[in-house]
A and B are shown apart, each in its own frame.
Chain A
Amino acid sequence: MEINAAKRKIPSLIEGYGETSGKLYEGVFARAPHGYRAGPKIRTAAPNSGSKVTGGIKEAVMASGLKSGMTISFHHHLRNGDFVVNEVIRACAELGIGDLTIFPTALFDVHKMIIPYIESGVVAKIMGSVNGAIGKLVSNGELGTPVVLRSHGGRPRAVMSGDVHIDAAFIAAPAADRGGNISGRTGKSACGSIGYAFTDAEYADVVVAVTDNLQSFPISPVSIPGIYVDLVAVTDSIGDPAGIVSGTTKVTRDPLRLLIANYASKLIEASPYFMDGISFQTGAGGIPLAVTAYMKEAMKRRNITGSFGLGGITGYFVDLMKEGLVRKLMDVQSFDLKAVNSIASDPNHIEISADWYANPWNCGVAVNMLDVVILGATEVDMDFNANVNTEADGALLHGIGGHQDTAAGAKLTIIAQPLLRGRIPCVVERVHTLTTPGEVVDALVTEFGVTINPRRKDLLDAVADFVISKQIPLVPMEELAARARAMSGPMEPIRVTDKVVAVVEWRDGTVIDVVRRIEK
């Protein structure tokens, strides 16, 4: 057993993952890259072939040369409407290909259809977030090898540095042409940005575009050019539009969430970053969206214009840009129809890759330009450490998403969260799973007020006027924890076995924590 720099106990050898010596978390910015990027395989398109279309998914799997034991990757831009993961796995099973490692950017509830293929050994390993039914399966130790959880930036870092080698990438393509050019902007399955797929296209040995919308060559604009794409599979439908994008994104009317959002917005307004050129990421959840709404009021009131909005983009952000309150949107994932239409038509709405968005090991990662980020967490502890991976019962819940990356990059990282979810406290003595270290979390905002990390003395000074005028109630962490304990009563400790069911990597590829199987 080893102990890493975050004081978490990590086994020296994790079966199905490998030795952890030399891979233990050392600190937020401790590990620097060296050497060269991994080189992708050199391939050519056959001269005068004219077309990369190879039939349907099954034909494409055959043509890709995929064999048992290989690693295949997917993106999650079609979210809970995605058909591609399920169809590719089914095709592999029918072709007798098994023992696969799947490397999705995220899995959703719709993917529970692959559970029988996990049980039959077609899928042997998952490197990517799991939740819902698959999460339960993994939490119960029913997958032979542990799941590897990486952040949105950690994933492309792992690929370009050679930690993960992708044998075949299957890229759901809302629009494609016979030359293999891909776009997410148009088609019945349009999803806007396809930023999570870029790195896979650049580094996989074989790249297959899976489309239900084959256009004449060449399409424009192109997200992933055909120079990276080997094969085009055509199928009736790559996804259910209802699960891909929501129609409209409305700000919540839940009074508790509005209260929290109001405090978070006041904290931003009081911070030294609230000035012309402010950049922010707020995501699509109830609280973050309401923060954006309150910030909009504050920006108008104080005559401030933002420089860019980052990350997952909603229609609400599009409206901010149209009203001139932010100049640009950097979009790795378009959440709703308005965002999809905007990225398809407005040159100020920029499609960015996950690499550009969040990879700590490149020369221009967008999160490092970020002023403010609003995040959530299932647990935050006395040291401001955050857990987004496991539920109160210790079961796997969420992927890391951009949590680690934006927290590390942004100048002001705010976790905004009700103190209790139902009867379960979100502030605890010690997080069950460590996702993001408190070193990069600046404040926690709950319905009881704002709790600032004592490390940020400058921020405490900055909010003084807002505290005096009673716009921000300041609550010390100790008081918040005591309140949570008093309201929830004592919690049964989570009992776990020694078996590791998931490895949580910090964005630099080191092991920050592991998730152990829950005792039955």
Chain B
Amino acid sequence: MRRTMLYLPGNNPNMLLRGHLFEPDGLVIDLEDAVSASEKDSARVLVREVLRRGEFGRCEVTVRINGLDTELWRDDIAAVVSCGVSGIRAPKVESPQTVLDLDEEISKTEEKFGVTQGSTKIFCLLESARGVWKACDIAAASPRVTAILPGGEDLAADLRTGRSKEGTELEWIRRMLIVAARAAGVDALDTVFPHVTDDEGLRRETAFVKQLGFDGKSVIHPNQIPIIHEIYAPTEREIETAQRIVEAASAAAARGLGAVSLDGRMIDAPVIRRAEYTLVRAGLSREKV
């Protein structure tokens, strides 16, 4: 589940040690924008030490590294991949080649430090029109890619506009990324809602992206987590239906039947997967890894 992925500034030990206590589905430890140029090295050391402690509850742990247009990204990868993070969030991905370069560096690092090959996933931030245009190719460029995400401020600037509260400038991009993500078989995760005291605005935007099909959102403030989880929580009726589908599917499997029917309707595999995911979101079953 990636309903909420909380950004933690890589130079803030207080947040790095406590972020998981707010129970987001994932953490994004940020070495990029949250850390000033003079603090890049010290933040990397701090993040590595915190990763080695490994106390993150049940959160998926990822790190946003510095862009491939900087001299920092290889050091970032060396520091965090060696600690066994779940994923690298790569900023400003513009082409499948960027993914291949990342893949190669990660593979080398995994081998060097004895980390299982392929275990470090890639989350691609598409922060330019070019990146968004190639979203599907980027998502399909490596089996490591597990999600694509639209950028916020950078993308708006590249589109020669600014960010609005209503997200008008992102509307078409969000729809496009969903199609690209599903075509490539990866998750689509939405950008942050930056107005941290506007709970109603967050509620509206989350409901909108959920309906589009997004698997979750990046989160900039812990107080946003319960609100997003609430929007993503299935209704009583959805839970009941999902339970009946899963039960019917397992009963059919137990009897060695390939086809499943419920209330006179045939149920296929995607519907069963959807039902299982509903139960995970309701906290009634654990995610299959």
Q: Say whether B223 contacts A487, CB under 8 Å.
A: no
Contacting chain A: which of B17-25, B128-136, B176-184, B228-236?
B17-25
**Which residues A446-485 have CB closer than 8 A to chain B?**
447-448, 470
Alpha-carbon separation in the docked complex, A487 to B18 (Å): 11
**B221 interface residue (CB < 8 Å to A):** yes
Contacting chain B: which of A129-137, A255-263, A511-519?
A255-263
Alpha-carbon separation in the docked complex, A259 to B197 (Å): 17
**Which residues B1-22 have CB closer than 8 A to chain A?**
17-18, 21-22
B151 to chain A, nearest CB (A): 25
**A7 interface residue (CB < 8 Å to B):** no
Alpha-carbon separation in the docked complex, A253 to B17 (Å): 19
**B222 interface residue (CB < 8 Å to A):** yes
Q: Say whether B21 contacts A448, CB under 8 Å.
A: yes
A258: which B residues are within 8 A, CB to CB? 223
Q: Say whether A255 contacts B17, CB under 8 Å.
A: no
Alpha-carbon separation in the docked complex, A448 to B23 (Å): 11
Alpha-carbon separation in the docked complex, A363 to B182 (Å): 73
A469 to chain B, nearest CB (A): 9
B22: which A residues are within 8 A, CB to CB? 255, 259
B283: which A residues are within 8 A, CB to CB? 470
Which residue of chain B has the shortest Cβ distance to A418 in the bound complex? B18
Alpha-carbon separation in the docked complex, A256 to B221 (Å): 11
Q: Say whether B197 contacts A256, CB under 8 Å.
A: no
Q: Say whether A447 contacts B223, CB under 8 Å.
A: no
- 17 interchain pairs, CB-CB under 8 A: A253-B197, A253-B223, A255-B22, A255-B221, A255-B222, A255-B223, A256-B18, A256-B222, A258-B223, A259-B21, A259-B22, A259-B222, A447-B18, A447-B21, A448-B21, A470-B283, A487-B17
What 1/0 mask marks residues of chain B from 209 to 226 whose CB sits below 8 Å from any chain A CB? 000000000000111000
Alpha-carbon separation in the docked complex, A255 to B19 (Å): 10
B17 to chain A, nearest CB (A): 6
- Taking each of B21, B197, B222, which has the highest tally of chain A beta carbons within 10 Å of its own beta carbon? B21
15 more CB-based (< 8 A) A-B contacts, given A470-B283, A487-B17: A253-B197, A253-B223, A255-B22, A255-B221, A255-B222, A255-B223, A256-B18, A256-B222, A258-B223, A259-B21, A259-B22, A259-B222, A447-B18, A447-B21, A448-B21
A253: which B residues are within 8 A, CB to CB? 197, 223
Give the A-B contact count at a CB cut-off of 8 A. Answer: 17
B17: which A residues are within 8 A, CB to CB? 487
Which residue of chain B has the shortest Cβ distance to A420 in the bound complex? B14
- Taking each of A253, A255, A258, A448, which has the highest tally of chain B beta carbons within 10 Å of its own beta carbon? A255
Which residue of chain B has the shortest Cβ distance to A448 in the bound complex? B21
A470: which B residues are within 8 A, CB to CB? 283
What 1/0 mask marks residues of chain B from 183 to 214 whose CB sits below 8 Å from any chain A CB? 00000000000000100000000000000000
A256: which B residues are within 8 A, CB to CB? 18, 222
Alpha-carbon separation in the docked complex, A256 to B223 (Å): 9
Alpha-carbon separation in the docked complex, A207 to B283 (Å): 65
B221: which A residues are within 8 A, CB to CB? 255
B273 to chain A, nearest CB (A): 25
B223: which A residues are within 8 A, CB to CB? 253, 255, 258
Alpha-carbon separation in the docked complex, A258 to B22 (Å): 10
Which residue of chain A has the shortest Cβ distance to B53 in the bound complex? A486
Which residue of chain A has the shortest Cβ distance to B224 in the bound complex? A255
Which residue of chain B has the shortest Cβ distance to A255 in the bound complex? B222
What 1/0 mask marks residues of chain B from 80 to 92 whose CB sits below 8 Å from any chain A CB? 0000000000000
Alpha-carbon separation in the docked complex, A256 to B22 (Å): 8
Alpha-carbon separation in the docked complex, A253 to B222 (Å): 10
A143 to chain B, nearest CB (A): 37
Nearest 3 CB-CB pairings of A with B: A255-B222, A447-B21, A255-B223
Alpha-carbon separation in the docked complex, A253 to B199 (Å): 12
Alpha-carbon separation in the docked complex, A212 to B256 (Å): 90
Which residue of chain A has the shortest Cβ distance to B283 in the bound complex? A470
B66 to chain A, nearest CB (A): 27
Alpha-carbon separation in the docked complex, A258 to B224 (Å): 12
B21: which A residues are within 8 A, CB to CB? 259, 447-448
Which residue of chain B has the shortest Cβ distance to A469 in the bound complex? B283
B13 to chain A, nearest CB (A): 9
Which residue of chain B has the shortest Cβ distance to A262 in the bound complex? B226
Alpha-carbon separation in the docked complex, A5 to B18 (Å): 38
Alpha-carbon separation in the docked complex, A291 to B162 (Å): 39
Which residue of chain A has the shortest Cβ distance to B18 in the bound complex? A447
Alpha-carbon separation in the docked complex, A428 to B21 (Å): 21
Alpha-carbon separation in the docked complex, A253 to B221 (Å): 10
Which residue of chain A has the shortest Cβ distance to B57 in the bound complex? A473
B192 to chain A, nearest CB (A): 15
**Which residues A245-280 have CB closer than 8 A to chain B?**
253, 255-256, 258-259
**Which residues A482-514 have CB closer than 8 A to chain B?**
487
Alpha-carbon separation in the docked complex, A298 to B22 (Å): 20
B197: which A residues are within 8 A, CB to CB? 253
B18: which A residues are within 8 A, CB to CB? 256, 447
B222: which A residues are within 8 A, CB to CB? 255-256, 259
A447: which B residues are within 8 A, CB to CB? 18, 21
B59 to chain A, nearest CB (A): 14
A382 to chain B, nearest CB (A): 22
Alpha-carbon separation in the docked complex, A447 to B57 (Å): 13
Alpha-carbon separation in the docked complex, A194 to B69 (Å): 66
**Which residues A223-261 have CB closer than 8 A to chain B?**
253, 255-256, 258-259
A262 to chain B, nearest CB (A): 9
Alpha-carbon separation in the docked complex, A255 to B22 (Å): 8
**Which residues B237-289 have CB closer than 8 A to chain A?**
283
Which residue of chain B has the shortest Cβ distance to A486 in the bound complex? B53
A16 to chain B, nearest CB (A): 42
**Which residues B84-124 have CB closer than 8 A to chain A?**
none
A259: which B residues are within 8 A, CB to CB? 21-22, 222
Alpha-carbon separation in the docked complex, A470 to B58 (Å): 13
- Taking each of B197, B221, B223, which has the highest tally of chain A beta carbons within 10 Å of its own beta carbon? B223
What 1/0 mask marks residues of chain B from 30 to 44 whose CB sits below 8 Å from any chain A CB? 000000000000000
